[in-house]
């Protein structure tokens, strides 16, 4: 009796068809996730990290050594936790799915390797010895306390030829995101195109690397400067003088402190027709070279508050002087490099406002 | 009563919309465009005006910053607003005055251009009155749309 192969062929065709449909489903799901990831990356990440991860305000993400050593878990936590005080904000509003899509998109830059996975087990070494090795081999770039390179990596705070500043290894966001085994892999791999080279080339053995990793865990995590959270956003002082006298005192105080008045006009200049402006809302812009230069070097986005500005208003018979409190800068830009500048400027503003409004 | 409930519902909806708009993390809105700086500045002003706002000034602040690596003349602060809104806000909420008018900072980063502005979520922390929420929401939508247009124009460049 001849064997009828037709049912087998039908079953085979059905199995193949089912697999193709299933595979195309997985493929289209991945494609959809990557497309959504690309959209979200453009929206949330590209302004700092560049459209293709080449870096800019933020660090370059498309470096092959970075993608080959950074686990998905590390990138996930970094997006969630940011790097408090080192510019990278927290993106706690992004859902699990959204962060996963962004990571899928980032992985599309990686041609050869798959995302690495690491054990979360702690690496035990000799932290005392690790500290000595760290001081010898790592501290020059990463700082004695793991505070990272000076500045924050923001465009103008580093040489234009340098793609990256040494990251702050004592940052709470970094310590919470990187597993010991990922740090070890990074030390072994190094980061081509950056000054970070493999510690193997420095003659360090496995035990030495374990000691360094253990030592890094002893860093005291740093991040946001909490004592500025309750700072007022705006300084407002009522003047004991008339409007014109307060204005004169304001100009004198600004100049006395070594600042130059750049321009003055009404708040509605450019909006109101000539001759109808409200002269009782008067804005004075001032600066000096050092002030502008230092501000932009610390954070290129500081132009939002440059030049310095004080506004004088008369409202219901009361003359007041208003200024933004510079201590909000570091919170707004998540940039601890602005704390000292903010403090200096705060003293300046309070002194000028005081001189202008009372004798 | 019904009107009050409706108003409250709109305010709640607007508040929810304001805080769920994309790219508003941490009180800043930022975007990158492949447009060169000069074209980006022109396009930005045009987009601001196309959204119904008046550009009141374009300030240069890059005094001798070439030594820091910045291209000469490639940093501006564009100030803008709707005259009636600025007037009303300044009259009713003096604490908002130091942040008025609205601003977008625009600067070159190599061949590309970056845009940074305060998110309306930040303004809502300065003056949180419920009758301001619809305005903040509109600002957030308009700023999001303007920055998006700059990204798209850069992509097409």
Model confidence over B56-110: pLDDT tens digits? 999 887 655 555 555 556 889 999 999 999 999 999 999 999 999 999 999 888 7
Shortest CA gap A28–chain B (Å): 25
Q: Does B27 touch chain A (CB under 8 A)?
A: yes
User: Which class would CATH give B2-155?
Assistant: alpha beta
The per-residue pLDDT for A298 is 82
The per-residue pLDDT for B22 is 40
Q: Which residues lie closer than 8 Å to A183 by C-beta, 6 or more apart? A: A213, A216
DSSP string, A23-67: HHHHHHHHHHHHHHHHHHHHHHTHHHH-TTS--SSS--S--HHHH
- Using the beta-carbon criterion (under 8 Å), do B22 and A43 form an inter-chain contact? yes
pLDDT at B12 over 90: no
Q: Does A316 touch chain B (CB under 8 A)?
A: no
Query: Can you say whether the dihedral through the CA atoms of A227, A230, A232, A238 is positive or negative?
Result: negative
Q: Rounded to whole angstroms, how far apart are CA atoms A239 and A312?
A: 10
Q: Does A156 touch chain B (CB under 8 A)?
A: yes
CA-based R_g, chain A, Å: 28
Angle between helix A96-107 and helix A72-81 axes, rounded to 10 deg: 130
Please, which residues bridge with residue B103 across strands?
Answer: B79
- Using the beta-carbon criterion (under 8 Å), do B25 and A89 form an inter-chain contact? yes
- Closest by Cα among A234, A245, A239 to A357: A239
What structural domains and CATH numbers belong to chain A? Answer: 28-216 (1.10.760.10), 226-357 (3.30.310.70)
- Output the CA torsion A43→A105→A194→A73 (10° steps): 100
Q: Does B61 touch chain A (CB under 8 A)?
A: yes
Q: How confident is the model at residue B24 (pLDDT cuts 50, 70, 90)?
A: very low
pLDDT digits 0-9 by tens, A28-45:
666 777 789 999 999 999
- Closest by Cα among A165, A176, A187, A217 to A69: A187
Rounded mean pLDDT for each run of 10 residues along chain A, 359 residues in total? 65 63 57 87 92 86 93 97 91 94 94 87 97 96 88 55 78 96 96 90 97 94 63 95 98 95 94 93 90 82 92 95 95 89 94 96
Say whether B117 sits in a helix, a strand or coil.
strand
B122 CB neighbours in chain A (<8 A) are 332
- Closest by Cα among B155, B143, B130 to B28: B143
Tell me the residues of chain A between 242 and 301 that have a Cβ less than 8 Å away from chain B: 267-272, 278, 281, 285, 287, 289, 292-293, 296-297, 300-301
The per-residue pLDDT for A40 is 95
Helical H segments across A82-205, by residue range = 96-107, 127-137, 139-142, 172-177, 180-189
């Amino acid at each position: 009796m001849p064997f009828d192969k037709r049912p087998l062929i039908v079953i085979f065709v059905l199995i193949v068809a089912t697999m193709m449909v299933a595979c195309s489903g997985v493929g289209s799901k991945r494609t959809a996730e990557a497309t959504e990831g690309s959209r979200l990356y453009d929206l949330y990440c590209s302004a700092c990290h560049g459209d293709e991860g080449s870096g800019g305000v933020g660090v370059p993400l498309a470096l092959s050594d970075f993608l080959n050593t950074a686990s998905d878990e590390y990138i996930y936590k970094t997006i969630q936790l940011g790097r408090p005080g080192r510019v990278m904000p927290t993106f706690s509003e992004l859902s699990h799915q959204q962060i996963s899509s962004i990571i899928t998109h980032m992985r599309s830059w990686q041609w050869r390797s798959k995302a690495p996975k690491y054990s979360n087990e702690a690496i035990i070494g000799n932290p005392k010895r690790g500290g000595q090795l760290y001081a010898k081999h790592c501290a020059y770039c990463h700082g004695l306390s793991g505070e990272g390179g000076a500045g924050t990596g923001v465009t103008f705070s580093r040489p234009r030829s340098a793609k990256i500043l040494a990251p702050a290894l004592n940052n709470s966001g970094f310590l919470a995101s990187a597993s010991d085994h990922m740090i070890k892999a990074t030390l072994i791999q190094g980061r081509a195109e950056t000054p970070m080279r493999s510690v193997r080339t420095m003659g360090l053995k496995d035990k030495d690397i374990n000691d360094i990793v253990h030592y890094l865990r002893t860093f005291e995590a740093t991040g946001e400067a909490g004592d500025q959270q309750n700072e007022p956003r705006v300084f407002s002082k009522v003047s004991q003088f008339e409007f014109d006298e307060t204005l004169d005192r304001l100009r004198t105080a600004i100049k006395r402190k070594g600042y130059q008045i750049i321009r003055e006009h009404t708040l509605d200049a450019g909006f109101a027709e000539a001759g109808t402006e409200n002269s009782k809302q008067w804005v004075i812009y001032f600066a000096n070279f050092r002030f502008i230069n230092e501000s932009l070097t610390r954070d290129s986005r500081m132009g939002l508050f440059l030049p310095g500005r004080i506004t004088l208003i008369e409202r219901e018979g009361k003359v007041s002087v208003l200024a933004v409190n510079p201590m909000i800068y570091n919170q707004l830009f998540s940039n601890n490099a602005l704390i000292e500048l903010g403090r200096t400027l705060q003293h300046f503003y309070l002194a000028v406002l005081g001189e202008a409004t009372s004798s | 009563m019904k009107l009050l409930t409706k108003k409250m519902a709109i305010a709640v909806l607007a508040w929810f919309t304001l805080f769920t708009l994309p790219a508003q993390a941490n009180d800043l809105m930022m975007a990158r465009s492949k447009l060169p700086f000069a074209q980006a500045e022109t396009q930005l002003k045009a987009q601001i005006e196309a959204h119904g706002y008046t550009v009141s000034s374009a300030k240069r602040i890059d005094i001798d910053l070439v030594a820091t690596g910045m291209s000469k003349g490639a940093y501006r602060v564009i100030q803008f607003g709707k005259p009636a809104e600025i007037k009303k806000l300044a009259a009713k909420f003096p604490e908002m005055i130091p942040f008025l008018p609205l601003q977008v900072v625009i600067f070159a980063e190599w061949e590309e251009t970056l845009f940074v502005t305060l998110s309306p979520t930040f303004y809502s922390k300065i003056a949180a009155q419920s009758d301001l929420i619809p305005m903040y929401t509109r600002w957030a939508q308009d700023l999001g749309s303007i920055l998006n247009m700059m990204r798209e124009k850069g992509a097409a460049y």
